[in-house]
Amino acid sequence: MALKLERGTTIIAATHNPGKARELATLLEGRCEVVAAGDLGLPEPDETETTFTGNALLKARLAADRGGKIALADDSGLSVRALDGQPGIYSARWAGPGKNFADAMKKVEERLEEAESDDLAAWFTCALAVAWPEGPAVVVEGRIDGTLTFPPRGDKGFGYDPIFIPEGGKLTFGEMDPAEKDAISHRARAFAKLKAALFD
C-alpha cells in the first residue's frame, strides 16, 4: 500500500526552531495540523549522521517514536564552494549553542578571507524526512544555487538568509517577502518532491 499523508492529520515538526516550524507548516498548505517538537517537550537529538538526508531521517524517527505521531523533519544548510562545501551539515553548529547566526555569517566571511578566494558560489540544501511511529519513512532532497554577499542584508527569514542571493535574483533571502522565498527555496523544491510522493 502506498504511503500517504491524509488531509487533517496532526504531524510533529521535528524542530526546536520556531522559524523553521512556521516554514514547514506554510509549505504543507494547511493540509495537516502541525505541532513543533519543541512545544511537546521532545528532545533534540545529536545530529550524528554525515549527510542532510541521514540527519533528517534521524530527527524524524526520534520525534515520531517519542511523540507517537507521524513526524516531519528537515535538515538543511548552506554550502560554500570555496570552502569545500562547508559549513554544510554543520551550518547550525557554526552558530554555536546560542544559535547566533550573525556570528555564523561572520565566520563564513572570515573563512573566505582566509582562503583568499573571491568565489562566492554557494547553495542551500534541504532534506525532508517523514517517519511513521515505529514504521516506514520517506526522504527527499532539494537544492537552490546562488551567490553570497557581505555584509548581510535583510531581516526576514532566518539563519544564513541575509547573505544568500538565489541564482538570477538581486535580493537576498533575508530581503525577500517570505511567500516569494517559499516559492523558490531549497525547502520548497524538497516539498514539491514530498507532495508528489505522499499527497493525493
120: cell is 562566492
CA distance 157 to 15: 16
Beta bridge partners of 126: 76, 142
Exactly one of 39, 46, 65, 75 is catalytic; name it. 75
Starting at the earlier edge strand, list the strands of the sheet with 10-13: 33-36, 10-13, 71-80, 121-131, 137-148, 164-166
Instruction: Report H helices in 7-129.
Output: 18-27, 52-67, 101-115
Tell me whether residue 75 is one of the annotated catalytic residues: yes
CA angle 198, 131, 85 (to 5 degrees): 90
Quote the strand ranges of the chain, DSSP E.
Answer: 10-13, 33-36, 71-80, 121-131, 137-148, 164-166
Which residues carry out catalysis?
A: 75
